[in-house]
């Protein structure tokens, strides 16, 4: 049956010639062309025509449909031939193994030897990949083709080369990994994480400053923690300092670094705000008030006693004050 993989292979015979069964016992079933009926035979004839036209993918589907209807394992050999024409060696190996397993009463000793020889030829072109998934009932695909659901009971046969393995399950983030396969066995550990939208925040501010997120106190001076993605309200306060208030945006799987240095609050101590009048400066202790000299009254108005001006007021003459 090696010749059946040549240029004239399945386009002409595809296991239909009675000569191909010369060494089959007398009670062996008839050739496929005589055994198949109804829809199975129609699919079989269509598959032969497609193979002859070089449409190996469509031919494989039709041969497989004929097998699903008739359960004649000889059709699996034809499916394997279509996959070989597409260089899908892992699928060739799977179909030929199934062909051998189900072939009792259908295939000859010579047919089995052909199958063994073919498997030895393609095995170096196939890798065994074990996909270990942390969650059950996850869908495993390779290069977009589904290969099963977790837990996989056995290694997946894949053609050597670069392959993209993807594992998906509702409620979890997709797992993707690209692997370069040789003939060696490979294990892929697919760890699925819950599909929660979380980032991280790191806030650094002045020593002793209180940090509030969304109205809740979370620490002082420095705060590092996971935080749900989205917009959050940040407030930082410290005695004698002007509070810092801002909205911050947290993104999935990213860290937001925030550094805040608070400014001194003029109203909380030091030089009071009321001394800034018309460019005049009041200096604590000496109390040199420039504003007084600018607005000095013409009469004998008594001067205010040093250090006794009430906050919020600057003496500028009778009846005047700043609010």
Q: Kindly tell me if the per-residue pLDDT of 318 is higher than 50.
A: no
Residues 237 and 300 in one domain: no
Q: Is pLDDT of 181 > 90?
A: yes
Number of domains in the chain: 4
What is the Cα–Cα distance from 156 to 184, expressed in whole angstroms?
Answer: 12
CATH number at residue 182: 2.60.40.10
Residues 144, 47 share a domain: no
**Co-location of 296 and 213 in the same domain:** no
Specify whether 98 is located in the same domain as 24: yes
Residue 117 lies in a domain: no
**Terminal CA-to-CA distance of the chain, rounded, Å?**
107
Q: Please write the tens of the pLDDT for every residue from 29-59.
A: 788 989 999 999 999 999 999 999 999 999 9
Q: What residues contact 128, with CB distance under 8 A and at least 6 apart?
A: 155, 156, 157, 158, 185, 186
Same domain, 92 and 182: no
Q: Tell me whether residue 116 is in a domain.
A: no
- Does residue 227 lie in a domain region? yes
**Confidence (pTM):** 0.57
Range of the domain at 98: 2-107
- What does the pLDDT read at residue 222? 96
Q: Which string of b and e fits 16-43 if b means at least 16 CB within 10 Å? A: beeebbeebeeeeeebbbebbeeebbeb
Residue 29 carries which DSSP code? P
Residues whose CB falls within 8 Å of the CB of residue 110, separated by 6 or more in sequence, listed in order:
1, 23
* Confidence check: pLDDT of 69 > 60: yes
Q: How many CB atoms lie within 10 A of CB 143?
A: 13
> Minimal CA–CA distance to 227: which of 208, 204, 202?
202
Are 252 and 283 members of one domain?
Answer: no
Query: Is 15's pLDDT higher than 60?
Result: no
Written as one string, the DSSP assignment of 255-275 is: EEEEE--PPB-GGGSSS-GGG
| pLDDT in the model for residue 53 | 96
Same domain, 284 and 303: yes
* CATH code of the domain containing 238: 2.60.40.1120
Q: Are residues 232 and 176 in the same domain?
A: no
pLDDT at 30 (0 to 100): 83
| Helix/strand/coil for 106 | coil
pLDDT-based confidence at 269, cuts 50/70/90? low
Please list the residues that pair with 248 across neighbouring strands: 232
Query: Tell me, what CATH number does 57's domain have?
Result: 1.25.40
Indicate whether 118 belongs to any domain. no
Which one of 190, 225, 245 terminates a domain?
190
Q: Which residues are within 8 A (CB) of 195 and not within 5 positions of it... i.e. 6 or more apart?
A: 171, 172, 173
Domain boundary among 54, 80, 107: 107
**Is 164 within a domain?**
yes
What local confidence, expressed as pLDDT, does residue 1 receive? Answer: 42
Among 217, 234, 259, identify where a domain stops.
259
For residues 184 and 205, state if they share a domain. no
Tell whether 209 is covered by a domain: yes
- 251 and 234, same domain (yes or no): yes
Alpha helices in 6-86 (DSSP H): 9-12, 32-35, 38-52, 56-70, 74-85
Assess whether 254 and 282 both reside in one domain. Answer: no
């Amino acid at each position: 049956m090696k010749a059946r993989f040549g240029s004239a292979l399945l386009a002409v015979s595809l296991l239909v010639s009675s000569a191909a069964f010369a060494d089959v016992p007398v009670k062996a079933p008839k050739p496929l062309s005589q055994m198949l009926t109804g829809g199975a035979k129609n699919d079989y004839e269509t598959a032969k025509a497609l193979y002859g036209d070089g449409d190996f993918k469509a031919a494989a589907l039709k041969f497989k449909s004929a097998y699903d209807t008739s359960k004649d394992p000889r059709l699996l050999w034809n499916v394997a031939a279509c996959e070989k024409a597409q260089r899908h060696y892992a699928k060739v190996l799977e179909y030929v193994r199934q062909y051998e397993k189900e072939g009792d009463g259908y295939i000859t000793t010579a047919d089995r030897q052909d199958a063994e020889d073919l498997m030895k030829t393609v095995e170096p072109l196939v890798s065994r990949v074990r996909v270990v998934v942390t969650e059950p009932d996850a869908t495993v695909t390779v290069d977009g083709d589904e290969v099963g659901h977790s837990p996989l009971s056995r290694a997946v046969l894949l053609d050597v080369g670069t392959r993209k393995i993807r594992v998906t399950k509702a409620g979890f983030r997709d797992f993707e990994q690209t692997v370069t396969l040789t003939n060696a066995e490979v294990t892929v550990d697919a760890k699925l994480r819950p599909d929660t939208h979380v980032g991280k925040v790191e806030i650094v501010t002045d020593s002793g400053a209180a940090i509030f997120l969304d109205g809740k106190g979370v620490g002082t001076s420095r705060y590092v923690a996971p935080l749900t993605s989205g917009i959050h309200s940040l407030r930082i306060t410290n005695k004698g300092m002007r509070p810092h208030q801002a909205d911050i945006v947290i993104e999935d799987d990213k860290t937001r670094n925030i550094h805040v240095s608070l400014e001194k609050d003029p109203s909380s101590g030091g030089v009071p705000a009321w001394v800034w009048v018309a460019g005049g400066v009041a200096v604590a202790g000496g109390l040199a008030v420039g504003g007084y000299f600018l607005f000095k009254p013409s009469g004998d108005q008594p001067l205010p006693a040093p250090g006794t001006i009430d906050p919020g007021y600057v003496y500028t003459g009778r009846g005047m004050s700043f609010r």
